[in-house]
Every structure is written in C-alpha cells, then in structure tokens.
Amino acid sequence: MTPEASVQYDEHGRLRHFLTTEGLGREMLSEILDVAASFISVGERRIKKVPLLHGKTVVNLFFEASTRTRTTFEIAAKRLSADVINMNATRLSTTKGESVLDTVQTLEAMHTDMFVVRDKASGTAHLIARHAPRGVSIINAGDGRHAHPTQAMLDMFTIRQQKGVFEPLTVAITGDVLHSRVARSQIHALRQLGVSDLRVIGPATLLPTEIEKLGVKTFYNMDEGVEGADVLIMLRLQMERMDGQLLPGPEEYFRYYGLTERRLKRAKPDAIVMHPGPMNRGLEIASSVADGPQSVILTQVTNGIAVRMAIMAKLLGDAGRDGRE
Amino acid sequence: MNVTLHGGRVIDPASGLDTVADLHIRDQHVAAIGVAPDGFTADETFDASGLVVAPGLIDMQARLREPGEDHTGSMEAELAAAVRGGVTTVCVPPDTYPPIDTPAMAHMIRQRVDASGLARVFPIGALTVALEGERLTDMGSLHQAGCTVLSNGDRAIENTLVMRRALQYASTFDLTVLLNAQDPWLVGNGCIHEGEIATRLGLPVIPEAAETVGVARDLALIETTGIRAHFGCLSSARAVAMVADARRRGLPVSAGVTVHHLHLCESDVGVFNTYCKVMPPLRGMADRDALRRAVAEGVVATICSDHQAHGKDAKLAPFSEAASGIAGIETLLALALNLVRDGVLELRTALAALTVNPARILGIDRGSISTGSVADLCVFDPDSPWTLRDTGLTSRGTNTPFKDTELHARVKATLVAGRFVFRDGA
C-alpha cells in the first residue's frame, strides 16, 4: 500500500478516511461507484431518505467558503439520515496549525462522527486525519491544490454511467492543472480505473513539472490534445490567474484553450463534455458547448449527491462499527 | 587542570595524523600526543581506548534562539545540545531578534554564551541593517568586535546594487561573507522542491533555478569584488558545479551543505511530512547523490547542521504553513559518520568537513589537533549504535525527521579549552 493510501485505512484495513483517490486501487474505487449507483434511486423517490447514518453527526468544516460543495455534502448526509452541522470556520494562514487542530478537537469533544473538511492549504485534511481519535472519519472536500477526491469520484461515476467502461477511453483534461486539486484526483482515479490514454492540455505555466510521472501525456496544443477523445474535462480557471504572470489574459486563453464547437468536433462524435463547476463561460468553455447535447455538466451535479452518500456510508458503515459505539 | 585522554585513536584531519596515542592537555592546550612531556602529571585521566579523539566540531550554521525567540529554544539548552553532539564552536547567523547588526549585539551574544560555560560561539554579523537589504551595516566596527564573517542570514539582498556594494565594502575590511544564495522572486511563497512530489501534493514550489540564479548573481559580483565567500547551504548539483567552476577559475569561494541534504531528498516529504520542510528545500535523489560526491571529492568543504529548534506546534500545521528547519546539532556528527559507515565518505573527509575546513573558512585557529593547539576536542565511539528518539534530544526542539534512525557514532566527551563540557552518562 502506498503511504498516501495507508493514512486512509484503519488498523483492520478498512477505509476510514477519504482524503485522496491516490493509491486506493481499482477495487475500492469500483466498489464506491457501485454503492453510489444503488443510491441514485433514493434521490428520485418521494421520501428521499435512508436510515444508514441515523444517529450519526456529520460536521461540515469549511475553512474555505464554498456553497455548492457544502450543500451537496449536506444533502448527502441528510439523505442518509445523519445530523449535519455546518461550520464556516475562518483561520489566519500565519497562525500555527494548532488552530486547525484546536477547532477539530473542540468539535470532537461533542462526539461527532465525521468531518467534511475544506481548506485552502494542501494537506489540511491529512493533518486532521492523522490526529483524529478512533471512530472519527475525515472526508477531504478539497485541500489547496492537492486533492478533491469526492469531486473526482462523481466524475468517475458520470464517465462510467455514460461510457460503461474505462479501459478503451481517451480522456483529455484541459486548463489550469497546476492549481487544480480536481485534476490531480481525477488523474489518480482514471489511471487506477484503467484509462491508458490520459492527456492534460494547457500552457506551460499551468502544467506542473513532472506531471508525466502521474501517468499522463501533456499537450500544449489543444487541437492535438482533444483529437479522438471520448471524454473532455474542462477545469475552472480562477480569475486571479489572469494577473498577467501566468497568462496574458482571457481572450488569449479562450483562443488557445477554450472548448469551442470547432474544437469539440475533433473529439469522437459521441464524446462527452465535463466541468466541475462553477463555469466561466467564454473563458474555458463556450456557452454553446456547455449547454450543448454533449455536455453532462448538470448530470455531474446530480451524481454528486449519490457519490457523496456512498463515500459517507462506506466510511461510517464500515469503520464506524468499531468506533465509539 | 591537566588531563590525559588515554589510548584513543587521535585523528587530526588537518595534518592527516591518525594514530592510537595518549593525548595530554595542559593549560587549555594540547601539551603532547604520545609520551607525556617532562614533569606532566594528569589531574584526570579519561579512558579513551576504543574511542576516537578528534577536534571539536565547528558548526557553520546553528540558531541558538536567543535573543528574540526564546519560546522555541534557550541558549543553554541549544548549547547543551551542541556539546552533546561534539560541537565546540557554534556559528550563529545574524537573524536573531534583534539581528546581529551592531557590535553591541555581537558582544551580548558572546557574553551570554561565555556565561553558559559550554561551547564557544562565533557570531556572524549582518551585511545590511536589520537584514533588510537596504543599508550597509558598520562592517568595520563589526570586524573590530570579532565578526570577521558577515552574512544576511536567510534573507536575500534583493537589490543587486546593494549586494554589490555590500560585498565591495566588506572586502575593504578583508571580511569573509557567508551566502545563502536564493533568488527571492523564484522562491516566492514556495515551500518544496519543484518536482514530482510537489506536483503530487499540490504545493507551491521552489525551483532549482532559485538557487542557480542566486548563486550565478553572487558569483558574478564576487568576481568583480574579489571578496572571499562561502555558500554554506547548497542544495542542488548545478549550484555546486557552478561554485566548483568558479574555484577552478581562481575565485576565493567555497561551498557547504547541511547534513540533512546529504541524507534526505524530496521523496522523504512523502505525504506532507513537515519535519522534512527545510530551506533550501530537499531536492531530488540525483542532487542528493551529487552533494555526497561533492563532499567526498572535496568540492564541498563543509557540513553544517543548520540547527533550528521549534516547538511541537510549529510542525503541526499544513505543510505550506509549517515552520521550516530541523533541530540537528546533536545528530550532526552521527549523521555525517553514518555516511562513512555507508562507504560514501572517508572518515578523514567527513571530519575535515566538520572541523578544519570550517575553521579555515572562518579564519579561526581551531579545528585541528597538534602540540600547542587549543584543546577543543570531541571524543566519540564510532561504533556504539543508538536510535534517535525525539524524547532523547537535549535541544528544546524535537523537530527531527531522523526519529527512529539508527545512528552509530556516539559522543562520549566534549572538551572546550581542555575542560570537559560534556560527558556521556555524566
């Protein structure tokens, strides 16, 4: 087991935390997708609840504001019948990390079962997981540029739903890979699920060094990168990257790396278009593509709830048995 | 007091002396090696059989945390850690609070250290006032106060013109400068070597070019000012090659490394191991191996600890926010000698990098053993395996990535001016 993955398991080898997709292995990833599939129907029922996490307390601990992601976690937890507390905590980057751990310890003293953590610094979820007492699980809802594993899993779910299998697929991820925790988690998941032709596309300033070691091919030219692709994943470009140091400006970016209908035609005719949201229309993706027939962007959002339910159930359903009860 | 160290293997890397002999100390100096001088009677005899008697270590860079940061360490504790590690002279960089930018500060630190009765201190004076890289310090006065080596600590002098003038002015007084050359723009908010691990962990990077650009700039300025300069903590193969090339061209420059850069590389950061966060960052395996070769071949002259004690909380943070640095002064010798055991370095080379080479760069009459030399000595057992536990450190800092590492050399006694300042088990 890789060190990255081993942090996530308890002493019985059961998944206890969900911090990264790296090193989880194909079997575990597939299992989560299978469980998610069984939860899809829950959202379509009149009574949208199952009692799996009845009596459990889930804390959404967001050091970095996010309404979208927090809401999907909240819905997922509530559909599993858990009690949910939302904490929009703030902290100063210059204060020592004890403040992160202090916050968590305070909440743990209230006998919570799970923390869903988001922070602007890479590694915060790992830090908390390493210091979490027995029976408390951590889900990483995004840490800096490092990982956003639940987003990646809902993307995997969407790809499997649309394409059935992973092995023969060509997947192209375009945009700001350097700053993207989503891209890193997607790359690890896609590689483990068997995608062999995995491409990342972007200008040199937005592709991290030695990214090839994660098992991807790099393309500076988007037309070449999307050629024959089955899945096109567009990344959100943060507007603060437009300060002229990493990129000259929005027009030039859209010209070379925006997904237009013309570029989409270079992909396979049945290629799907994905985006983790929120989108910058006209910057990384043309509206006609985002709203077009090949877009599965809203499907991703819907799937997000079932996938997060699956992950929560997997952690508290398995590891929770030996916990505080 | 007269002391005889009986039956030890006396090694003086300066002269190449390596012999089993008694070493006799009188009036703070080495009186004789071998047969005692006429009329010498030892007040105390220390059984050094099976042990190595070497010059006391000179650590080119270690923070004592005073003044200014006594919440993370105390001078007494850090000096006790030093002598426990066989270090008899500690070079303190000027980045104390307030910085060592006046003769008064240098005096103050010397007095505090002398009062401790442990190791000696060699305060490094600041090149610029408050290390801000804007105005030159009173270098002449600092020189008078004994700061014959100046530095700007880890703070870069961003303005190249100020840097040039600082080096020119320092050369006026025949000073030596100690440089931690890192281009501040390329360092930015980076916290880890730009490489595969940084890409995996999604951390802001410090590219190798931060060091090569910094070294290139400083070498160009050294070439036109003629100042003696030592790059004390190089991390990359390319930067070492640049300094080696400059030496071949006759420039009065030398290079050093920290002992942890000889042991660790970026992959040791693993999954956000903040104990491996250091500045300059741990680089690739190829860099680490190149640094090892450079020490073995004498291209890199010195090995230091870059000791930085931190409280426990300082490392309990997300990687980018955790403090950088290792509390390493106690393990400097043992880690260097692990490399001898592993066949990377010759014993004499390793000891030279810890003793006589730093002494020559600092321009001090220490770091060697001969009749008449000051008896600053380190007596160690080269084969006494022990495992480092963080609870076993004397330093107030427990921040070490070498916890649970098996070490083989163990310091048995440390003498400063012929006086025992540390004895194992005492």
Whether B322 and chain A come into contact, CB under 8 Å, resolves to yes
Determine whether the interchain pair A100/B198 forms a contact, defined as Cβ–Cβ distance below 8 Å: no
pLDDT for B72 = 74
Is A325's pLDDT higher than 80?
no
Q: What residues contact A10, with CB distance under 8 A and at least 6 apart? A: A16, A319, A322
Residue in B166, B291, B295, B299 with CA at minimum distance from that of residue B222: B166
Number of domains in chain B: 1
ipTM of the complex in this document: 0.92
Q: In degrees rounded to 5, what are phi and psi of residue B377? A: -135, 155
Please state whether the peptide bond connecting residue B98 to the residue before it is cis, i.e. omega within 30 degrees of 0. yes
- Alpha-carbon span B209 to A162, nearest angstrom: 45
Residue A88 confidence class, pLDDT cut points 50, 70, 90: confident
- The answer to whether position B107 is within a domain reads yes
Question: Residue B161 gets which letter from DSSP?
Answer: H
Q: Is B77 part of a structural domain of the chain?
A: yes
Domain contains B317: yes
* Alpha-carbon distances of A247 from A201, A202, A242, B187, B372, rounded to whole Å: 15, 11, 6, 20, 66
Mean pLDDT of B373-383: 98
Cβ burial of A248 (10 Å; 0-12, 13-18, 19+) is exposed
Contact B200 A124 (CB under 8 A): no
Interface of B with A in 153-182 (CB under 8 A): none
Options B22, B59, B154, B306, the catalytic residue: B306
Q: Is the CB of B276 inside 8 Å of chain A's CB atoms?
A: no
**Residue A93: is its pLDDT beyond 80?**
no
Q: How confident is the model at residue B91 (pLDDT cuts 50, 70, 90)?
A: very high
Portion of chain A with pLDDT greater than 70, in percent:
92
Q: Tell me if B37 is assigned to some domain.
A: no
Judge: B319–A122 Cβ closer than 8 Å, yes or no: yes
Given a contact cutoff of 8 angstroms between Cβ atoms, the answer to whether B289 and B265 are in contact is no
B306 is catalytic: yes
* Contact across the interface for B271 and A96, Cβ inside 8 Å: no
CA distance B233 to B210: 13
Asked whether residue B138 is domain-assigned, the answer is yes
pLDDT tens digits, one per residue of B25-64: 999 999 999 999 999 999 999 999 999 999 999 999 999 9
Average pLDDT over residues A148-160: 98
pLDDT at A5: 67
Chain pair A-B, CB pairs under 8 angstroms:
84
Check if B198 contacts A (Cβ < 8 Å).
yes
CATH of the domain at B92: 3.20.20.140
Task: Report, as an integer, the average pLDDT of B257-284.
Answer: 97
User: Does B194 touch chain A if contact means CB atoms closer than 8 Å?
Assistant: yes
Of the ranges A63-72, A210-219, B297-306, which one carries the lowest mean pLDDT score?
A63-72
- CA B236-B239-B245 angle, 5° bins: 140
A25: exposed, middle or buried (Cβ count in 10 Å: 0-12, 13-18, 19+): middle
List the domain range (segments joined by +) for residue B300.
56-362
pLDDT bracket for residue B68 (50, 70, 90) = confident
Question: Looking at residues A62-72, what average pLDDT do you find?
Answer: 89
Considering only CB atoms, B199 lies closest to which of A93, A98, A210, namely A210
pLDDT of B412 over the 80 cut: yes
- Residue A83 has a pLDDT of 96
Sequence-separated (6 or more) residues with CB below 8 Å from residue B124 = B91, B92, B93, B94, B100, B147, B149, B150, B151, B153, B178
- Per-residue pLDDT band at B221 (split at 50, 70, 90): very high
Position A243 scores a pLDDT of 67
Q: Which of A126, A96, A104 is nearest to B201 (CA)?
A: A126
At A240 the pLDDT is: 72
| Alpha-carbon gap, residue A166 to A112, rounded angstroms | 37
3-state SS, chain A, equals: CCHHHHCCECCCCCECCECCCCCCCHHHHHHHHHHHHHHHHHHHCCCCCCCCCCCCEEEEEECCCCHHHHHHHHHHHHHCCCEEEEECCCCCCCCCCHHHHHHHHHHHCCCCCEEEEEECCCCHHHHHHHCCCCCCEEEEEEECCCECHHHHHHHHHHHHHHHCCCCCCEEEEECCCCCCHHHHHHHHHHHHCCCCEEEEECCHHHCCCCHHHHCCEEECCHHHHHCCCCEEEECCCCHHHHCCCCCCCHHHHHHHHCECHHHHCCCCCCCEEECCCCCCECCCECHHHHCCCCECHHHHHHHHHHHHHHHHHHHHHHHHHHCCC
Q: Check whether A94 has a pLDDT greater than 60.
A: no
Mean per-residue pLDDT of chain B? 96
pLDDT surpassing 60 at residue B306: yes
Contact list in A for residue B210 (CB cut-off 8 A) is none
pLDDT digits (tens, 9 = 90+) for B94-136: 999 999 999 999 999 999 888 889 999 999 999 999 999 999 9
Q: Please report which helix (H) or strand (E) contains residue B187, including its range.
A: helix B184-187
Is the residue at B33 inside a domain?
no
Structure confidence at residue B209 (pLDDT): 98
* Average pLDDT value for residue range B141-153: 96
Residues 159-198 (A) with a CB less than 8 A from some CB of B: 181, 184
- Is residue A49 over pLDDT 90? no
Three-state secondary-structure class, residue B13 = coil
Q: What's the pLDDT tens digit per position in A222-269?
A: 999 999 999 999 999 987 777 668 998 899 999 999 999 999 999 999
Residue A107 is predicted with a pLDDT of 75
Whether residue B410 is contained in a domain is answered as no
Proportion of chain B above pLDDT 70, given as a percent: 99
What is the helix (H) or strand (E) element at residue B241, kind and residue range?
Answer: helix B237-248
The residue in chain A having the minimum alpha-carbon distance to the alpha carbon of residue B208 is A209
Q: Which residues of B touch A101 (CB under 8 A)?
A: 316
Q: Which pLDDT belongs to residue A320? A: 40
Give the model's confidence band at A324: pLDDT under 50 very low, under 70 low, under 90 confident, else very high. Answer: very low
Model confidence at A35, pLDDT cuts 50, 70, 90, reads: very high
Judge residue A92's burial from the number of C-beta atoms within 10 Å of its C-beta, 0-12 exposed, 13-18 middle, 19 or more buried. exposed
Identify the closest residue of chain B to A185 by CA–CA distance: B200
Asked whether residue B238 is domain-assigned, the answer is yes
Mean pLDDT taken over chain A: 91
The residue of chain B with its CA nearest to that of A94 is B321
